[in-house]
Structure 1
C-alpha cells in the first residue's frame, strides 16, 4: 500500500533509513522535530510504502511553491525490484501535480549506482549543464553515512 507519510511513521521510517548501507542521515535535519516541521509544511506530498503493516519504503517530498524536491528516497533492500519505488515516485509526483508544481528535482550520490540507474530508467534527466552548491548554516548538522 502506498500512502501519505504522517509524523506517526517517523520511528519506523527512521529505522528504515538506518538499515540502508550508504544512506546519509543528518543529525538535525532528520530529527523528529525537523521531519515534523517538514511534514507540516508539506502535508500531502511525502510518501511511504507499507507491506503487511510494515513500512518498506519512503520518499520525503516537498515544494517551495515553484519546484518540488525528493529527499531520502528508499526501499528496504529485500523489497527492491518489485515496483515499490516506481509506485512511490508516481504517488509523490501526483501529489505535487495536485499542488500545481511543474518541475521536480532530486539529488543522488554519485556512488549510488542503483539509485542513479533507477531515476534514469524512470525518465529523469541527468543534468550536466549546472553546478550544485550548498552551504551549511549550522555546523552541528552532522551527516552520518550508514555503514
Structure 2
C-alpha cells in the first residue's frame, strides 16, 4: 500500500471511489473535476490517496486557510477497511499540514455516519460539544447528492 499526494490525474479513480461510499455526499460543483483541481492547486501537498497496484482505495481531500486545516471526503474502499489505511492517510495529511505551520485540524462527519464517527473516536479525535456549526450557501447550483 502506498500513501501519496493526490494529483488531478487521480480524479477519475477518486470520484469512482466516492460513488461507492454509502452515505457519502458529493457536491455538483465543488466535487467536479474543475472544483477538485482548484482545491488541489490551492492545497498541493496535503491531499492524499492510498494506492495498491495502481488502484486508488482511499482518499482525503485536505487543505488549510493559513490557520486551520480541514479534512474533506475521507474514505477507504469498504473491502480495504480495518487495515490501518485511514490512519496512515490521516497521518500523512497531518504531517503535510504541520510542514506548512498549521497547528489544528478539523473535519465534519455526518451524525448518521456511524462508521466514520467510530473511526475518528478510535484514533483520538475529539467531538466538539461546545459550538454550533453554521453554513450559508452562496451558489444554489452546488447541489449535494447522497450515495445510497
Task: Give the alignment's TM-score, normalised by structure 2.
Answer: 0.98
Tell me what 2:44 maps to. Answer: 43
Q: Kindly state the Cα deviation for residue 2 of structure 1 after the two structures are TM-superposed.
A: 0.2
- The size of the alignment, in residue pairs, is 147
Give the Cα separation in 2 of the matches to 1:122 and 1:99.
23
SS at match of 2:129: coil
Tell me what 1:68 maps to. Answer: 69
Q: Kindly state the Cα deviation for residue 90 of structure 1 after the two structures are TM-superposed.
A: 0.3
Tell me what 2:79 maps to. Answer: 78
Specify every segment of 5 or more residues in structure 2 that has no aligned partner in the other structure, as ranges.
none
Q: Could you list the per-position Cα deviations for residues 19-63 of structure 1 after superposition, in whole angstroms to 9, with x for gaps in the alignment?
A: 111110000010100100000000000000001110000000000
Tell me what 1:121 maps to. Answer: 122
Tell me what 1:146 maps to. Answer: 147
SS at match of 1:71: strand
RMSD, matched Cα: 0.4
Is the aligned partner of 1:101 residue 2:85?
no
Give the Cα separation in 1 of the matches to 2:6 and 2:86.
15
After superposing on structure 2, the runs of 4+ consecutive aligned residues of structure 1 that deviate more than 4 Å are: none
SS at match of 1:15: helix
Q: Kindly state the Cα deviation for residue 78 of structure 1 after the two structures are TM-superposed.
A: 0.6
Tell me what 1:111 maps to. Answer: 112
